[in-house]
Structure 1
Amino acid sequence: MSDLILVLNAGSSSIKFEVFEAAGLQLCWGGQIEGIGAAPCFATHDSEGWMLADRRWLKNGAPVDHSAALGGIIAWLDGVTNGRRIIAVGHRVVHGGPDFAAPVLVTPAVLHRLEALASLAPLHQPHNLAGLRAAAERFPGVPQVACFDTAFHRDHPWEADSFALPQRFYDRGIRRYGFHGLSYEYIARRLAAEDPVLGRGRLVVAHLGNGASLCAIRDGRSIDSTMGFTALDGVPMGTRCGQIDPGAVLHLIEAEGMSPAEVGRLLYEESGLKGLSGLSQDVRALEASDRPEAARALSYFAWRVRREIGALAATLGGIDALVFTAGIGENSAATRARICEGLGVLGIALDPARNAAGAPEVSVPGAAVQVLVRRTNEERMIAEHVREALSAGARAAAGDASGPAYPELRG
């Protein structure tokens, strides 16, 4: 029987998981617990997407925290794994800071360094690390591998990473990091496998979900990204503002009398599509609404994304393909159409019928720039990194230094 790799993606009130066979990375099961801390719901599915469990957590008076939620996942897995071992656990960790440019085997020292980055990703990092601690407690002695959303962007040119501040601030880590790297890396690897020529080309990938950003990729490597020091920068998102004049933030504090905490809540939780529309952060709800505020929010979102596509195309010196991915990018034909309208100057032309059908390629035949729709899979990317990390650790133990370096695996 094949050993297993467990992948965890822990959020503020949820834990998503997928289990893969270690040998071939075939998906076995997946699911999530939502509503941690309130009224948790537990749902699981098999490799074909068929529902296996869908139930509410029966509370016994004790609060359901991340450790208890993970315990519920493990108890369920014990009933379906038939004795197969989980030999490693991979975790999505949003922020790796300037030090972590590759997946890392988590040690107490690594965990301490990652905790220090929590203020740079306050909506994500503390919960990622809570899931990591819970897994380490539940799987003592099993390798825990942290995979970072920032790592794919760590080879940017200096100009793409820097703010126009004195150099001492860059040296302290105040620089542009970029996020959604696991999604971008997955898309880059899949496109290279599908079409090696295109995989070496100039790509702009639009990861459009509740969190949204775009990335310029050339020869499979990130060149630039719309997100910066935090996951606030770039295009507007579900509840996050995207790019904003820093002078406006100073004005909110100095003239409006808002505290830094109040400004943080405004920019992270009350802005974006939710703030613009006054209705919802969900694109589906906005597209179904006939209120002018909803139309205005969708128009603004498309305008900002279109602007960033042009900027990233300039960074790349041209564009060979535009790739839509994540929840909105994969599923909203109307949003793709709004974004691509007016991009003919770049050679982008959308085929309405293909776009409405959600075809893998939605550009008109023979267009200068391919417009593609691809499903991202961050959990699969994490599983690939975990397997590579275990292989690197085995080579290191055998005295072979070849292959990718995974920090802490040699220590």
Structure 2
Amino acid sequence: MIAPGDAVLVLNAGSSSIKFELFEVRAEAAPIARFAGQVEGIGAAPRFTARDAAGRRLAERDWAEGGAPDSHRAALAAIIAWLDGVLEGRRVAAVGHRVVHGGPDLAAPVVVDGAVMERLRALAPLAPLHQPHNLSGIAAAAERFPGIPQVACFDTAFHRAHPWEADTFALPPEFYERGIRRYGFHGLSYEYIARSLEQHEPELAAGRVVVAHLGNGASLCAMRAGRSVDSTMGFTALDGVPMGTRSGQIDPGVLLHLIMTEGMAPEAVQALLYGNAGLKGMSGISQDVRDLEASDDPRAARALSHFAWRVRREIGALSAVLGGIEALVFTAGIGENARGLRARICDGLGFLGIAIDPVRNAANEREISPPGAGVRVLVLPTDEEAMIARHVVGLLRRSISS
């Protein structure tokens, strides 16, 4: 049972952090955010921060040695201890979780039970940076909130309606049947953008849109009428454009060479591709675009140039998949803030009708294309946690009505 006034807690558990957001359920409208924050640096130098819906800092804590959370369970306990003081009588009716990989079958939010957890654990090798920590967050929340629904929402779900041509690899069919196919990720972010366009730009939402989710993890998605048609990420969250520490697309022959000729262990190759490639590996400096833009090291400039090149290439490819484009949307940390990179990415895309107004772009306006441009270029904030909260409330209300 979920009712107006109840609270939904949304958790996004990473390797060394738990982000949280608390939403209040409303009768007709979407859940409204009340509080948010995170514990970061779990196992090293943990730090807790919390803020209200207006972004005002409400709490900040660095733990002294010996008293710091050393696990997701302990970090969640610290979050709950703080929330107990601000819930003001609201009942936590459900906990929603971002889970990166749902595999070929889990294409909608689901209440987690033992069988679902086993299916999700089996997918951990396909998302080693994310899935185990997502599941740790579910286990910790189930222990703290016994009997309260734990709802998993999947980053892969939004892409499950892709045509077969977009999802398959050029391998014998039995590999596809065994689940070796292209899944796509960042689906909760893309779904939020699709809903935002539907609400505020219905004509664009009904058309052909390429969305660039550019953050520490980065991908692009082609949408037609608000549905995912193709994405740059594939079997794992390694594919596509370069990212903060991940390589993006790489010739599989390179991997064979590293293992078979140079003698690298598969575990070492995995560590390279996930943790020491991308902007960090290319620059030798940082995965943070702000650091790279401030650096006079030529390696930083080359890393940013390569990133812009690859994103520009994928915009062209996805526009071809759609047969044209009415809008390009930038979102996530880099997409929403890196003005110089946005301009570099769009430079040379005039043949698609894409152009940037330098004044609008410098001001970080919502629309950064010139008036009357053939393709509208928008900068829209994403909110995966809000999308999860909506899914949780919708799923539980449907289960009650049925």
TM-score in terms of structure 1 length: 0.95
Q: Which amino acid aligns with 2:213?
A: H
Q: Residues 270-308 of structure 1: CA distance to partner in whole angstroms, max 9, x if unpaired?
A: 110111111111100000011111111100000000000
Quote the residue 2:219 is aligned against: 213
Q: Does structure 1 conserve the Cα–Cα contact (< 8 Å) formed by 2:22 and 2:35?
A: yes
Task: Indicate the residue corresponding to 1:237 in structure 2.
Answer: 243
Give 2:284's aligned amino acid: G
Matches within 5 A, 1:246-325: 246-325=252-331
Native 8 Å contact 2:69 2:75 kept in 1: no
Does 2:110 align with 1:107? Answer: no
RMSD: 1.0
C-alpha separation in 2, matches of 1:259 and 1:5: 44
Offset of residue 26 of structure 1: 1.3
Report the equivalent of 1:137.
143
| 1:7-34 residue CA offsets vs partner (Å, 9 max, x unmatched) | 0000000000000101141111000000
> How much does 1:37 deviate?
1.1
Matched, 1:9 2:15: no
Deviations 1:33-55 (A, max 9, x none): 00111221000001111000011
- Three-state SS of the structure 1 residue aligned to 2:399 is helix
State how far apart, in whole Å, the 1-side matches of 2:51 and 2:67 are.
28
Whole-Å Cα distance in 2 between the matches of residues 79 and 68 of structure 1? 18
1:337 shift after superposition? 0.3
For residue 61 of structure 1, report the CA deviation from its aligned partner: 5.7
Stretches of structure 2 lacking an aligned partner (at least 5 in a row): none
Q: Residues 125-166 of structure 1, C-alpha deviation per residue, up to 9 Å, x if partnerless? A: 000000000000000011110000000000000000000001
2:21 to 18, 21, 27: 18
- Tell me the SS of whatever aligns to 1:175: coil
Letter in 2 for 1:8: L
- 2:12 aligns to what SS in structure 1? strand
- State the 4+ residue runs in structure 1 displaced beyond 3 angstroms: 58-63
Q: 3-state DSSP class of the match of 1:9?
A: strand
Distance in 2 between the 1:39 and 1:233 partners? 31
TM-score when normalising by structure 2: 0.97
Query: How many aligned residue pairs are there?
Result: 396
Q: 1:364 and 1:84 mapped to 2: Cα distance?
A: 47
In the alignment, the residues of structure 2 paired with residue 308 and residue 393 of structure 1 have an alpha-carbon distance, to the nearest angstrom, of: 40
Does the residue aligned with 1:97 lie in a helix, a strand or coil? coil
Among 332, 335, 358, the alignment partner of 1:326 is: 332
Percent identity of the aligned residues?
A: 70
Q: Tell me the distance in 2 between the aligned counterparts of 1:34 and 1:110.
A: 27
Q: Which runs of 5+ in 1 are unaligned?
A: 397-411
Q: Which of 202, 206, 222 is the matching residue for 2:228?
A: 222
Q: Does 1:94 align with 2:97?
A: no
